[in-house]
Structure 1
């Protein structure tokens, strides 16, 4: 090679046809790999591209239908797949989507993507994406709390509901997210604890960041030695157990409602509510009489039927008792008509059960007391509620009930309302007949009916409730005060609070 002309040779190479063609080929390769250009196969086959886009459009429509059913809590199919909600929704979409309509009517039966198996697979893929996003946000936080409960489903399998509570720095808010269900073979503390850990690890949750665990107060969950919380605390010492405060409130109401007068009254209300709601004839008479009573209709606030008492959320029973109290006169009128005009013997018995002063005064008193717990119940179930706020609201409610208990005017107003309600149905204030030694109900002597019902019904119920509220909602309050170390609450970090926090965590 003539090195004396190397500069000229190199310059000629840069302009040569071979060099330029290779540079163009390299540029095209980079463009194809980076997605800026389509490869030769796709360029040569426009039909292939249209098929791909069409299939994607169809699959998007199928996935959107599944997501819609999931968001609306609608079952995709019933006993037969052909008449299921999923199929009906797709046919409705097909009216405005020609590609989907052609796929449903003339698609290859081997690749319809509409079978129950494919539906379940798509549901699983969607669920996996959602849970992965939740776990990713949880793992980015400094710590999290694990919340769980177990229950038996319709197929008699034990199902665990798993939730994560953490601070999402990207959204700048506290999140409480449902992670999913898991099956468990046993309900012992050991089996549940192992199942919880396995499910969290399976979802790729960084369990070493767990700083809290919340369950109900059952022995297998809260036991200090063999319960779930004890076993998880042994593995993750920083995971402090907190008994669900909404559940604690529920237990307090349940135990207070075991007082004999309150228990009997609620039993009668539940029986009559079910009797009306599950009988077309009785419900029709109730609605007709309600329409004829303007006062009751206004107090019912657009409700047209009685509400049954919730078996699990006892704080919600206040609304059912309020509805029954507002429509009391209508209920009595309806039962009398059913008994006298239609020979309904059960209606006669129901009417006898509620047309006595014992039932009326207990209904008025218990409904009033439980109505004061509704706001607290909603607050304790709020995702944004923290332990300090819950304890503060609980103290406020307890102080309010204590003040009402000691205020004679409150009881006098409740008693006067009971007398007025009884007067509407020609019932006179009275006390239960006393014969011999009473062992099944309180029966302290009193000079007047008002004093009797206050001493034997109202005070025992509210005292029992106050005791349980204090013991269940304010227990372990010192641990909650550690939140005073957070910047928004640091103003409340006094010397006394600091000492209390130290005593709890030393």
Structure 2
């Protein structure tokens, strides 16, 4: 809205649309139809924003590209919070991430399915819910990580008790295996992931607040990037210090598991003296 003296930015909720065809074309057609019924001209469109679904952001068949074909000035901006989640997803689907979150998911499943769950879980664990892990909102997994990080010794004790008392042999065996595999690597992972997920979750919630302004949003993202830059420099060493303290309290050796070294097959043009890249478990 504007007058000769001032400009006022106004956001209006227009309503929900019943959609049967969720392809890019289907969503585009029903949106165009709704805009026309409201008397809004496509030529006046200057921006559009959606999540990162292929039917929305697709460069050729997505809704945003179809609007751009009609009006090149309709600048597309992807959802910032969804983009943050996709970044976390890329990190978490790396080998170490998949192994870590898989273990947490198994813990949650064991406590949910254990026949003796109310007898086995101590009072200080029952007050927390070992929540299932969201498939999309990756930063929300901070709650699942937090539950275990703050009471890891009790969680391990409960897992061992499930292993001893649960009537389902499959659940009992899995609980015992996970409890015995809670080593220094896992302690370090849970500290690092909690730090990362907590910082991203805070920014994600702020970006979704109804009074968020673009200038503040940019500052929030820059602060998050600065956090990752600093964490890359000194976060690992600090996480190791914290993990060593927890390991001492739990009676866990503060050493990394030594994996069998897999030697790379030499190419025909390599001499036998070629140096193999060697990395410590740390």
TM range (shorter): 0.7 to 0.9
Q: Give the alignment of 1:214-363 within 5 angstroms.
A: 214-279=49-114, 281-288=116-123, 290=125, 303-342=127-166, 345=169, 346-354=171-179, 355-363=182-190
Task: Tell me: higher relative CO, structure 1 or 2? Use CA pairs within 8 A at least 6 residues apart.
Answer: 2
Partner residue, 2:279: 445
Structure 2 residue matching 1:175: 3-state secondary structure: coil
Q: Distance in 1 between matches of 2:97 and 2:278?
A: 17
Partner residue, 2:21: 185
Two-structure CA RMSD over aligned residues (Å): 2.7
Question: Does the alignment pair 1:211 with 2:46?
Answer: yes
Q: Distance in 2 between matches of 1:390 and 1:438?
A: 47
State which of 424, 431, 435 in structure 1 corresponds to 2:256.
431
Higher strand share: 1
* Greater mean deviation of Cα atoms: 177-186 or 254-263: 177-186
Q: Distance in 1 between matches of 2:152 and 2:14?
A: 41
Contact residue 116 and residue 165 of structure 2 kept, 8 A: no
Superimposed CA distance per residue, residues 446-504 of structure 1 (whole angstroms, 9 cap, x where no aligned partner): 3xxxxx43xxxxxxxxxxxxxxxxxxxxxxxxxxxxxxxxxxxxxxxxxxxxxxxxxxx
Contact residue 332 and residue 351 of structure 1 kept, 8 A: no
Structure 2 residue matching 1:213: 3-state secondary structure: strand
Shift of 1:245: 0.6
Distance 1:402 1:178, change over 3 A: farther
Contact residue 165 and residue 172 of structure 2 kept, 8 A: no
Higher helix share: 1
Provide the aligned length of Structure 1 versus Structure 2.
Answer: 263
State which of 243, 246, 250 in structure 2 corresponds to 1:421.
246
Distance 1:223 1:438, change over 3 A: farther
Distance 1:434 1:186, change over 3 A: closer
Q: Distance in 1 between matches of 2:263 and 2:207?
A: 40
Q: Distance in 2 between matches of 1:186 and 1:289?
A: 45
Structure 2's unaligned 5+ residue stretches are 265-276
Q: Distance in 1 between matches of 2:72 and 2:20?
A: 24
Superimposed CA distance per residue, residues 293-342 of structure 1 (whole angstroms, 9 cap, x where no aligned partner): xxxxxxxxxx4322222222111111221111112111111121222244
Q: Give the alignment of 1:144-183 within 5 angstroms.
A: 174-175=10-11, 177=13, 179-183=15-19
Partner residue, 2:33: 198
Partner residue, 1:379: 206
